[in-house]
């Protein structure tokens, strides 16, 4: 890896080769990185970007870090992801689709892919499969959560990788950041919110804009799902609404599947 010309505690740090790839996604996480004009040059000084379809025409298969956005929905994506993994020393799952399957994984609820394909595409059928997160196919070294990712968090993770510093994520829920921002609790407004059980680190983006959390960062450590459901029920929020939130991004997959079985138990 080439030297970056920068030092950490007086020790020169390398400038690893980085590549960005996308699978089934909206590509919004990659746009987040490019949109951070104020610190983009500093970010680029830490890594040598050798492959980034949204930002450059040059391509190289020689890279140290692979940032991968999107979920896996087709057989050819499986083979492509495995090839990327074989070349990368570090593979980073970028965003909710890569980490959990994202919004794409909602189609997995229908079980019947032929019906899904026919309903969505009609006679113009496309090759499709059940949605999988990256870790279902290859080994993932790091995850950067969110839909979309937070630019500042990406830069922090990259900086820590370059200098060899341990990477840690908040263990507390979004509610902590929401309270710190002195936001009005959306529960008090009768709105659904997964803030009590979702991993923090987003700065309470959605609740700060009067929109309930949808859990795009996945569960916080020791998330008390039952208590969260009780709080929502006490405020008259329908169970279907709670389930919609838990199912949306895939981070609460096991919890939502259990909850759906509880809701449908005894129903024809």
**What pLDDT sits at residue 90?**
94
CA distance 66 to 69: 10
pLDDT of residue 116: 85
Closest Cα to residue 95, out of 147, 131, 52?
147
User: Closest Cα partner for 16 from 58, 40, 45, 55?
Assistant: 45
pTM (predicted TM-score): 0.89
pLDDT the model gives residue 121: 86
* DSSP assignment letter at 104: G
Cβ-contact 179, 129 below 8 angstroms: no
24 to each of 14, 70, 78, 128, 169, how far by Cα in Å?
32, 5, 11, 11, 25
Residue ranges, CATH 3.40.50.700, the chain: 3-163
* Cis peptide bond upstream of 148, omega within 30: yes
Alpha helices (runs of H) in the chain, residue ranges in sequence order? 28-35, 37-46, 75-87, 96-100, 113-121, 151-163, 174-180, 205-208, 225-234, 239-247, 253-264
**Residue burial 44-56, b: 16+ Cβ < 10 Å; e: rest:** eebbbbbbbeeee
Tracing tokens 């087709």 back to the chain, one arrives at: 74
Helix (H) or strand (E) holding 127, with range, is none
Task: Classify domain 3-163 at the CATH class level.
Answer: alpha beta
Q: One digit per residue, pLDDT tens: the chain, 268 residues?
A: 666 566 655 556 788 999 999 999 999 999 998 887 788 888 888 899 999 999 999 999 999 999 999 999 999 999 999 999 999 999 999 999 999 999 999 999 888 888 888 888 888 878 888 999 999 999 999 999 999 999 888 888 888 888 888 888 899 999 999 999 999 999 888 889 999 999 999 999 999 999 999 999 999 999 999 998 888 888 899 999 999 999 999 999 988 888 888 887 756 5
């Amino acid at each position: 890896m080439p030297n970056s010309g920068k030092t950490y505690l007086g020790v020169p740090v390398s400038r690893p080769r980085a590549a960005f790839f996308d699978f089934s996604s909206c590509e919004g996480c990659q746009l987040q990185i490019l949109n951070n004009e104020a610190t983009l040059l500093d970010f680029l000084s830490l890594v040598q970007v050798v492959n980034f379809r949204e930002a450059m025409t040059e391509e190289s298969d020689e890279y140290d870090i692979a940032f991968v956005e999107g979920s896996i929905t087709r057989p050819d994506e499986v083979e492509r992801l495995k090839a990327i993994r074989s070349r990368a020393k570090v593979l980073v799952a970028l965003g909710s689709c890569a980490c959990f399957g994202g919004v794409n994984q909602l189609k997995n609820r229908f079980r019947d892919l032929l019906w899904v394909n026919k309903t969505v595409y009609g006679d113009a059928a496309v090759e499709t499969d059940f949605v999988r997160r990256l870790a279902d196919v290859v080994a993932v070294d790091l995850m950067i959560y969110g839909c979309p990712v937070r630019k500042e968090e990406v830069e922090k993770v990259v900086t820590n990788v370059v200098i060899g510093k341990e990477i840690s994520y908040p263990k507390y829920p979004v509610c902590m950041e929401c309270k710190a921002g002195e936001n009005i609790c959306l529960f008090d407004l009768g709105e659904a919110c997964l803030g009590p059980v979702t991993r923090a680190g987003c700065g309470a983006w959605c609740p700060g804009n009067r929109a309930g959390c949808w859990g795009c960062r996945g569960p916080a450590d020791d998330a008390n799902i039952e208590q969260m459901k009780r709080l929502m029920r006490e405020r008259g929020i329908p169970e279907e609404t709670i389930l919609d939130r838990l199912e949306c991004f895939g981070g609460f997959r096991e919890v939502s599947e259990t909850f759906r079985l509880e809701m449908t138990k005894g129903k024809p």
